[in-house]
Amino acid sequence: MKRSFFAVLVIPLLAPLASLQAIEETNPNIVIILINDLGYADIGPFGATKQKTPNLDRMADEGMKLTSFYASPVCSVSRAELLTGCYGPRVSVAGTYFPVDTQGLNPREFTIAKRLKEHGYATQCVGKWHLGDQPAFLPTKHGFDHYFGIPYAHDMKRKSKETGGQVVPLLRDDKVVELLTDMQQSRIVERFTTEAVGFIRANKDNPFFLYLPHMAVHPPNFPGEKFRGKSGNGLFSDWVEEVDWSVGQVLDTLRELKLAEQTLVIFTSDNGPWLAKGAEAGKALPLRGGKGTTWEGGVRVPTIAWWPGKIAPKSVSDAVTGTIDLLPTCVMIAGGKLPANPVIDGRDLTPVLSGKSKESPREAHYYFSGYTLEAVRQGPWKLTLVAQQNALEQSSGEQLKFTPRLYNLDKDIGETIDFADAHPDVVNKLTVLATKMNDEIGGKAPKARRPGGFVIDPKPLFLIDDAPKAMDNVKPAALHTLKPGDAIPAAEAPQIGGKAFTLTCQIETDLRDTIIVAHGGSMVGYALHLKEGRVVFSVRTGGNNAITDVRSEPIKGPVRITATLGKDGAITLTVGDQAAVTGKAPGLIPRQPQEDFCLGFDNGFPVAIYSKVKLFAGKITDLNVTTP
């Protein structure tokens, strides 16, 4: 039976919750539904018209829309922030994890599931985990009684030795129970929904926490058979409509079991839409940018809070809130009190949800990309500290200088007008806040960053064909035939994983900021690019922005470039007749990048930190990559 928590709730914490507790005097159930790559404008309550979302429309009519609710630019970071109540850098999660990764969320961290288990909750995670696929990092090590799902992105397929097909693993707790092909993934929303509803029914007489992070609607799109073609607007819209059906199944089950007034449900997204995927992705309008950026469209996500009898119907809050606030909110309504340590960044949202406060519970919101603090918001004011990237957009966007820009999001939600000169006092105030937070957890020398999870010898969850064997019969691409705008798959690209290599080419361009070569993504890779007229050779040896740059003096006219990564991590860059410049990476690039080899652009998660992203215009000749 559910147990009363009034006896253990300390009096100072009671007042803000009065309206949320007046009806229900037992531990409320908590459901968090996290959608993958859903844009701000992709559901009816936030303006979508091309796909129908009647269940989410009803949820918003019966609950509260949170219109300034923030996640993070990429999925692993957002999931860590949601579960720990901390900005990614504080818990050393700053990039995207890949299969057989050495890194993951440190199991010493306290998650929502761990905190709620202290109060007698049954806990289950159903869906996409993406916080490390090694046994030490799986949900059952982070406070969840049970797990049913795929441990990373559904497009991170590997070739199975057992089936010979490209698959992803489906886990039950910490064991692989199936290997799913793309076709089989078309039932994944249905299967996750069935599992989630089953968990609710099994725990109807006990307090429970259900975390339901769907694979949908991340490209590629795999809507179920019943929804394929239903929207009349392509596979993406079909999948959004299936997600809406899934939400309806969860809410209808709560209504049927008469648990609606005892359950807080949060619906949100892990980041904005992956704009470079075109029709396979959503929209964030009127916000600017998308996934992978700290423009509003990359991190402000459509969010609805539902709790009949506790949250006023048809209510709207524009208070600055986010995924980091969910842990303290869940602990509060469960009757708990968070200790002073470990430090978290989130704050309790119950005053906002109850309608008692229109203000953010936090002093400011900080926009991190990796370990780089790119912007800070307080009230309507957003100060950008560095040039925000457009790497995952189809277009290059506006070219920004590395000077702070101040946006008023109430007046200019599209981030087009710089108010910095008109409001130097606001710039100074936000700069002080940013400096303090950056000193604490950002950059290369933080004072309060906790260690991430790490394993020495990661193993695949199922038997896979090793990458070198899979590439034995693949003919390497002829690099000298490529032209700017071309991309070749990783199997045909130069095989540099764990090897020293030298990249040579000759370029001629009038651009001062552009990409010459990019191969890799958020975890490993390298890039040769121009920044403010200088050639930059960037080597990424791991996630969390483990990037080493060396750069030349400014160039003019045609130049020959030679960039070398030595076996000990030594970097040498020679440009024209300039003196060679050197640097030192932590080591070799540990594995072959899984992303495309791109000439003149970067078509995925940026492997380097570019000042601007614009397709190379000019000549790239004599391109070659050699290994000893």
Residues with a known catalytic role: 75, 130
Q: Report the alpha-carbon distance of residue 344 to residue 110 in Å, rounded.
A: 10
Return the number of other C-beta atoms located less than 10 Å from residue 43's C-beta. Answer: 28
HSE-CB of 248 using CA atoms within 13 angstroms: 14
Q: How far is CA 522 from CA 80, 157, 282, 463, 600, in A?
A: 16, 17, 22, 25, 18
Burial class (CB in 10 A: 0-12, 13-18, 19+), 120: middle
Q: Which of 607, 440, 543, 611 is nearest to 75 (CA)?
A: 543
- CA 561 to mean position of chain CA atoms: 35
For 38-81, give the secondary structure using H, E and C.
Answer: CCCCCCHHHCCCCCCCHHHHHHHHHCEEECCEECCCCHHHHHHH
CA angle 50, 56, 58 (to 5 degrees): 115
Q: Could you give the CA distance from residue 393 to residue 211 in angstroms, rounded to a whole number? A: 30
Upper half-sphere CA count for residue 281 (Cβ side, 13 Å)? 22
The Cα–Cα gap between 4 and 26 comes to: 4
Structure tokens given for 213: 């992070």
Q: How far is residue 94's CA from residue 71's CA, in Å, rounded to a whole number? A: 13
The answer to whether 332 touches 27, Cβ cutoff 8 Å, is no
> Would you say 125 and 112 are in contact if contact means Cβ atoms under 8 Å apart?
no
